[in-house]
Amino acid sequence: MAKDKIDLEKNINEDTMKLSISKLNRILKKVYLGGGKKKIEKQHAKGKLTARERISFLIDEGSDFLEVGALAGSGMYEEYGGCPSGGVVTGIGYVKGRQCMIVANDATVKAGAWFPITGKKNLRAQEISMENRLPIIYLVDSAGVFLPMQDEIFPDKEHFGRIFRNNAKMSSMGIPQIAAIMGSCVAGGAYLPIMSDEALIVDKTGSIFLAGPYLVKAAIGENVDKETLGGAATQCEISGVTDYKMPDDQTCLETIRDLVDKMGTFENAGFSRVEAKAPKLDPKEIYQIFPNDRTKPYDTMEIIKRLVDDSKVTEYKKGYGKTITCCYARIDGWSVGIVANHRKVVKSAKGEMQFGGVIYSDSADKATRFIMNCNQKKIPLVFLHDVTGFMVGKRSEHGGIIKDGAKMVNAVSNSTVPKFSIVMGNSYGAGNYAMCGKAYDPRLIYAWPTAKLAVMGGSQAAKVLLQIQTSSMKAKGQEPTEEETQKLYDKIKNRYDEQTTPYYAAARLWTDGIIDPLKTRQVISMGIEAANNAPVEKFNPGVLQT
């Protein structure tokens, strides 16, 4: 009977995961249509490819494209008709065998206009390019800032203007930037391609100017058409603003491939890589192992062994700090150091029972030492999140949990080897920070469909907020009934649960996207390959109290 129960649980886990992945694929399929089929047809009628078609033509045939921020803007800006993928497609692709960051405006979404999330996504793409010294290719086709929301995209430090600042910084760093004007490029947006190293423009469809014909008429009373003002002939033959005049999208993209083909290479970081081996244990079994019920324990090592080459690991301090697993392994041939939350209830050396997924003092101490070792040996770090936070209570406070947690956060913050985060399950509170959440500069951070990101779990948060609200009502002389209290609890919990979903996080770029667990190896491998383009600075741990 026990075996039947285990088999049933595995089947439930597998079915739940497959349903989650099916939901993800349905959502992505819709996102990939951008502004919809009619808008795509209009783009084709103008002789233009869509953003995704341009990327597909640009990258090497049959090669992988690691999309960043596919779900950006999901469920946002509904009052304006939505903004699928933030109106821009970004990701790492291979062009003539070389990894490049590609940024392509989607003109089917509000003519490629910039929403607040569009700016954030562009900055994320530039950040990845700068951190990894990847050449960056801009495929420009945008009407500029979305004016109804200009106050949320224009003036602040992390807004639109930061992109041009990054253009200048990347130029000084020697990172190649190529821009292709394949549609509209107007106002402040005109600086992006011209601050790049080389600019191409497609004849008859591409145009670039600081002010369009209507604004010119309003400002100085001059009548001028778009082509005369800033078309390909004007900017290539009269002003000299652009460098290459292209007859169509396809020729433009092929010319970019030729330009990338002639680039030299940088000094690399020298991360260890050997011939890749597939995991011995079937990765598809992750679907069965990862629990449908997020409160249920599981052996994290069984997940790890289905992600790493030959299912082989060298575990660090196995008998100490058991609620965090640290181990050395290889992923697609790359040497990695893995820090993962262990989700089984364990017994410490002192005989105390410890909850799985919670970081205790000994676990934080172990992880800190391991992170330092990986920096010493130039080994990229992979963080696998399923954490509810640090342990609380009198015993933990007396034992110095804040000090030990601070040491781990310090080590993560000052780590100079590239870090990669995969949010498998829970990623709550300070546990998110210690496990290299978005605030701690992971080179890439992706979530599984089972992920949850929040300060704390939905039921705990709802109880805390309910206590506050009911206390406030009582202070005003109002005594809520049991039914009213339950309704209030449900309302708070439902809102909170919605905000903890991986889709809510991905829409706001708290993660770079949601992936099928079976794509985890590919994400980490492509990420380390990108990171290998940038030499690693010497590790300085700062003040680590002992």
DSSP 174: T
Closest alpha carbon to 456 in 491, 500, 492: 500
Q: Which tokens sit at 353? A: 């029972």
DSSP 521: H
Would you say 130 and 172 are in contact if contact means Cβ atoms under 8 Å apart?
no
Beta bridge partners of 358: 389
**519 — phi, psi (to 5°)?**
-95, 5
| pTM exceeds cut of 0.75 | yes
Closest alpha carbon to 53 in 114, 124, 106: 106
**Residues 29, 30, 32, CA angle at the centre, nearest 5°?**
65
pLDDT of residue 1: 46
Residues with Cβ within 8 Å of residue 2, at least 6 apart in sequence: none
Residues in the chain: 546
Would you say 173 and 131 are in contact if contact means Cβ atoms under 8 Å apart?
no
Would you say 505 and 447 are in contact if contact means Cβ atoms under 8 Å apart?
yes
**422 — phi, psi (to 5°)?**
-120, 115
Would you say 433 and 445 are in contact if contact means Cβ atoms under 8 Å apart?
no
Distance CA 233, CA 201 (A): 9
Would you say 260 and 98 are in contact if contact means Cβ atoms under 8 Å apart?
yes
DSSP sequence for 197-249? SEEEEETTT-EEESS-HHHHHHHH-----HHHHHSHHIIIIIS---SEEESSH
The string over 517-544, giving b where at least 16 C-beta atoms fall within 10 Å of a residue's C-beta and e elsewhere, is: beebbebbbbbbbbbbbbebeebeeeee
Q: Within a 10 A sphere around the Cβ of 215, how many other Cβ atoms?
A: 13
Helix pair 401-414, 361-376: axis angle to 10 deg: 20
pLDDT of residue 543: 63
Distance CA 369, CA 316 (A): 10
Q: Which tokens sit at 193? A: 């391609």
Q: Within a 10 A sphere around the Cβ of 270, how many other Cβ atoms?
A: 10
Would you say 380 and 536 are in contact if contact means Cβ atoms under 8 Å apart?
no
Would you say 244 and 253 are in contact if contact means Cβ atoms under 8 Å apart?
no
Distance CA 265, CA 134 (A): 10
pLDDT of residue 544: 61
- Tell me the one-letter amino acid at 429: G
pLDDT in tens, the chain (546 residues): 467 777 899 999 999 999 999 999 999 999 999 999 999 999 999 999 999 999 999 999 999 999 999 999 999 999 999 999 999 999 999 999 999 999 999 999 999 989 999 999 999 999 999 999 999 999 999 988 887 888 888 888 888 889 999 999 999 999 999 999 999 988 767 888 989 999 999 999 999 998 888 888 888 988 988 899 989 999 999 999 999 999 999 999 999 999 999 999 888 999 999 999 999 999 999 999 999 988 889 999 999 999 999 999 999 999 999 999 999 999 999 999 999 999 887 877 777 777 778 999 999 999 999 999 999 999 999 999 999 988 877 787 867 788 888 999 999 999 999 999 999 999 998 999 999 999 999 999 999 999 999 877 667 777 777 777 777 777 777 777 778 778 877 887 788 888 899 999 999 999 999 999 999 999 999 999 999 999 998 888 776 654
Q: Which tokens sit at 325? A: 């697993």
Q: Which tokens sit at 77? A: 């800006």
3-state secondary structure of 176: coil
Would you say 144 and 110 are in contact if contact means Cβ atoms under 8 Å apart?
no
Q: How far apart are the first and last CA of the chain?
A: 50
Distance CA 168, CA 176 (A): 11
- Tell me the one-letter amino acid at 376: Q
